[in-house]
């Protein structure tokens, strides 16, 4: 076997944990990234435990508005799986449409977060207002950065589908982008509960 | 490295959107209903500890639904589930581990000074370790 053939064989035939290499790498990345979020939320819990001055989140934050943002992310997760489904059927137009809907969901979420931050800052809730505000901005901001990264990834995928360089044979690219996007959604579900509702 | 693996890596569903007997739309509806329930339950008068447990259970259920159906964890080997579950384990561990240093167990913070550790009167003079 020639070297390229060996490399191809290793990449396609050896499947640790039963997954393709790129998917495995994405899962490992998401696992390590989730540990970052776990550490942030753990630190948040330590600061909050028994702090009698900790405000009731619903009295400071807009729960209904954030619930709407959560709804938006859940919708974008559905459109993301639909885009994977479309590309697996070689429906590039459908894939582009679902991807664009996901992209739009991400952009709207970021816009909502900007609106929320602006509103809070205008009402005097800044990063230095105390542990509540600092942990709020730190954790939601860290998540917002992930959403931004996801939007960039989705933009890349959109460009590739538009240019015709992404076909059903590259569906694993969309699958990996989807994994990342669902992870962003999953983390938000936890952030929404711990920061806004509890 | 996106050169062609099988387009539907696990032969998921042939594009019918049904995963484990549940369509994506059904998963979406469940997530939507649980999200509404989460917000609603905060208005129900109940002990704080019960509310927290209820909210955490609902959030974990939603998280598992997303990972299982949308992230296709259902089709992965159980060892991959460990990769996904490890951060959750760490989250619990770090929360328990940092509890002794939580607000509840440390003296009030005064502006302009570092958080003091309570001096231990019984400490032997010249003992090494953390400075009090």
Provide the residue range defining the domain that includes A49. 19-197
**What is the average pLDDT across A93-104?**
96
- A2 domain residue, yes or no: no
**What is the average pLDDT across A161-170?**
87
Q: What are the tens digits of pLDDT across the range A38-83?
A: 999 988 988 888 777 888 888 889 899 999 999 999 999 999 999 9
Distance, CA of A113 to CA of A190 (rounded, Å): 16
Query: Is it the case that residue A192 has pLDDT exceeding 80?
Result: yes
> Do the chains contact at B103 and A197, CB–CB below 8 Å?
no
> Do the chains contact at A42 and B94, CB–CB below 8 Å?
yes
Q: Identify the pLDDT of residue B7.
A: 38
Query: Is it the case that residue A162 has pLDDT exceeding 80?
Result: yes
C-beta of residue B81 within 8 angstroms of C-beta of residue A30: no
> Do the chains contact at B56 and A77, CB–CB below 8 Å?
no
Provide the residue range defining the domain that includes B87. 18-100
Chain B residues closer than 8 Å to A194 by CB: 59
10 Å Cβ neighbour count for A104? Answer: 16
- A193 domain residue, yes or no: yes
Distance, CA of A61 to CA of A59 (rounded, Å): 6
Query: Is it the case that residue B121 has pLDDT exceeding 50?
Result: yes
A99 φ/ψ angles, rounded to the nearest 5 degrees: -65, -40
pLDDT grade for A4, boundaries at 50, 70 and 90: confident
CB contact set of A164 (below 8 Å; sequence gap of 6+): A92
Residue B79 or B126, more confident: B79
Q: Identify the pLDDT of residue B15.
A: 42
- B39 domain residue, yes or no: yes
> Which ipTM did the prediction report?
0.86
Domain holding A52: CATH number?
Answer: 1.20.120.80
Distance, CA of B16 to CA of B38 (rounded, Å): 30
> Do the chains contact at B24 and A78, CB–CB below 8 Å?
yes
Q: Identify the pLDDT of residue B125.
A: 59
Residue in A78, A129, A139, A188 to test binding to B, most B beta-carbons within 10 Å: A78
Residue A26 or B132, more confident: A26
- A11 domain residue, yes or no: no
Q: How many domains does chain B have?
A: 1
- B116 domain residue, yes or no: no
Instruction: Decide if B62 touches A, using CB distance below 8 A.
Output: yes
Residue in B59, B93, B104 to test binding to A, most A beta-carbons within 10 Å: B59
- A12 domain residue, yes or no: no
State the nearest Cα–Cα gap between A154 and chain B, in angstroms: 16
Q: Identify the pLDDT of residue B126.
A: 58
Q: What are the tens digits of pLDDT across the range B30-75?
A: 999 999 999 999 999 989 889 999 999 999 999 999 999 999 888 8
Q: Identify the pLDDT of residue B74.
A: 86
CB contact set of A131 (below 8 Å; sequence gap of 6+): A47, A48, A51, A54
- Give residue for tokens 């207002």: A129
A88 → closest Cβ in B15, B31, B63: B15
- B70 domain residue, yes or no: yes
């Amino acid at each position: 076997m020639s070297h390229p053939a060996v490399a191809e064989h290793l990449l396609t035939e050896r499947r640790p944990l039963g997954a393709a290499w790129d998917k495995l790498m994405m899962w490992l990345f998401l696992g390590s990234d989730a540990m970052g979020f776990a550490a942030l939320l753990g630190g948040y819990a330590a600061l909050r435990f028994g702090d009698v001055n900790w405000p009731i989140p619903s009295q400071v934050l807009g729960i209904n508005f954030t619930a709407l943002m959560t709804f938006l992310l859940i919708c974008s997760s559905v459109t993301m799986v639909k885009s994977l489904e479309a590309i697996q059927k070689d429906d590039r137009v459908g894939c582009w449409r679902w991807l664009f809907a996901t992209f739009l969901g991400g952009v709207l979420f970021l816009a909502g977060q900007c609106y929320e931050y602006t509103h809070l800052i205008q009402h005097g809730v800044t990063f230095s207002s105390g542990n509540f505000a600092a942990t709020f901005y730190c954790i939601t901001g860290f998540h917002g950065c992930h959403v931004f990264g996801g939007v960039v990834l989705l933009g890349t995928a959109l460009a590739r589908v538009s240019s015709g360089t992404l076909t059903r044979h590259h569906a694993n690219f969309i699958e990996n982008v989807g994994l990342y996007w669902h992870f962003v959604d999953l983390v938000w579900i936890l952030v929404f509960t711990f920061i806004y509702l509890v | 490295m996106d050169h062609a693996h099988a387009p539907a890596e696990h032969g998921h569903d042939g594009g019918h959107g049904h995963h484990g007997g549940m369509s994506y739309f059904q998963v979406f509806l469940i997530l939507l209903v649980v999200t509404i329930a989460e917000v609603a339950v905060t208005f129900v008068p109940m002990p704080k500890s019960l509310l927290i447990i209820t909210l955490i259970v609902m959030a974990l259920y939603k998280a598992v639904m997303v990972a299982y159906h949308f992230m296709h964890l259902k089709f992965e080997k159980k060892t991959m589930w460990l990769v996904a579950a490890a951060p959750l384990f760490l989250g619990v561990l770090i929360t328990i581990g940092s509890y002794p240093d939580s607000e509840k167990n440390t003296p009030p913070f005064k502006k302009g000074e570092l958080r003091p550790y309570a001096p231990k009167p019984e400490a032997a003079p010249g003992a090494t370790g953390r400075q009090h």
